[in-house]
């Protein structure tokens, strides 16, 4: 593995809880597999996968505090749903702490939770790798998505967004408008 990735991985292993780290490694290798299948840059997929949850090393309250400190603008729905905040914070930390300059990687981190319409291939890869990585607890629809993602990544993105919306609605939680836009865009 490239030296830079090893350095980042070592740092994250000190910061992230064990389960989060396992998930992170799962996303990293799942993203690399998808990059092989779809002809994306494997190193970028590994890097974005490794860093996608780096903003989750602290509590939601602390994440909000850091966003204020670093002047990261949060939307109303992000403040309402603090589970979303780590994506923007993560992209900031990737740039400033882990010295990642590649905008494609930073965007993949930024959009990994909600997705967005018209995602780049790398954005789709990280979005879906986060959803299907092997350590994920089995939830309804996951087996189907794992079964089609290597044939049709756009459909896998659509089904993940749809499942996320259903899960949030059924648990009485708010749904970020961007997740709805992602679902609408990839519905075919």
Give the residues lining the site for Fe ion (CB under 5 A). Answer: 53, 130
Tell me whether residue 26 or residue 183 sits nearer to Fe ion (CB atom): 26
| Rounded least distance, CB 188 to Fe ion, Å | 26
Tell me whether residue 40 or residue 53 sits nearer to Fe ion (CB atom): 53
Task: State the burial class of residue 68 (Cβ atoms within 10 Å of its Cβ: 0-12, 13-18, 19+).
Answer: exposed
DSSP per residue, 67-129: HHHTT----HHHHH-GGGHHHHHHHHHHHHTS----HHHHHHHHTTTT--TT--HHHHHHHHH
Q: How many CB atoms lie within 10 A of CB 19?
A: 9
Tokens of 122: 């790398």
Tell me whether residue 9 or residue 39 sits nearer to Fe ion (CB atom): 9
| Rounded least distance, CB 2 to Fe ion, Å | 21
Tell me whether residue 39 or residue 178 sits nearer to Fe ion (CB atom): 178
| Rounded least distance, CB 52 to Fe ion, Å | 6
Tell me whether residue 39 or residue 129 sits nearer to Fe ion (CB atom): 129
Q: How many residues does the chain have?
A: 188
| Rounded least distance, CB 84 to Fe ion, Å | 9
Residue 30, phi then psi, degrees to nearest 5: -65, -40
| Rounded least distance, CB 113 to Fe ion, Å | 5
Report the candidate in 52, 59, 187 with the shortest Cα–Cα distance to residue 133: 52
């Amino acid at each position: 593995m490239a030296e830079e990735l090893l350095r980042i991985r070592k740092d994250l292993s000190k910061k992230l809880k064990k389960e989060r780290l396992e998930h992170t490694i799962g996303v990293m290798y799942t993203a690399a597999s998808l990059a092989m299948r779809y002809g994306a840059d494997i190193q970028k997929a590994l890097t974005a996968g490794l860093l996608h949850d780096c903003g989750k090393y602290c509590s939601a309250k602390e994440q909000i505090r850091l966003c204020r400190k670093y002047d990261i603008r949060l939307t109303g729905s992000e403040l309402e749903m603090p589970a979303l905040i780590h994506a923007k914070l993560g992209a900031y930390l990737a740039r400033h702490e882990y010295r990642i300059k590649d905008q494609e990687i930073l965007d993949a981190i930024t959009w990994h939770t909600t997705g967005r319409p018209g995602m780049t291939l790398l954005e789709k890869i990280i979005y879906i790798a986060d959803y299907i990585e092997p350590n994920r607890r089995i939830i309804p629809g996951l087996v189907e998505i794992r079964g089609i993602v290597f044939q049709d990544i756009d459909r896998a993105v659509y089904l993940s967004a749809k499942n996320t919306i259903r899960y949030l609605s059924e648990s009485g939680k708010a749904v970020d408008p961007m997740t709805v836009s992602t679902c609408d865009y990839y519905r075919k």
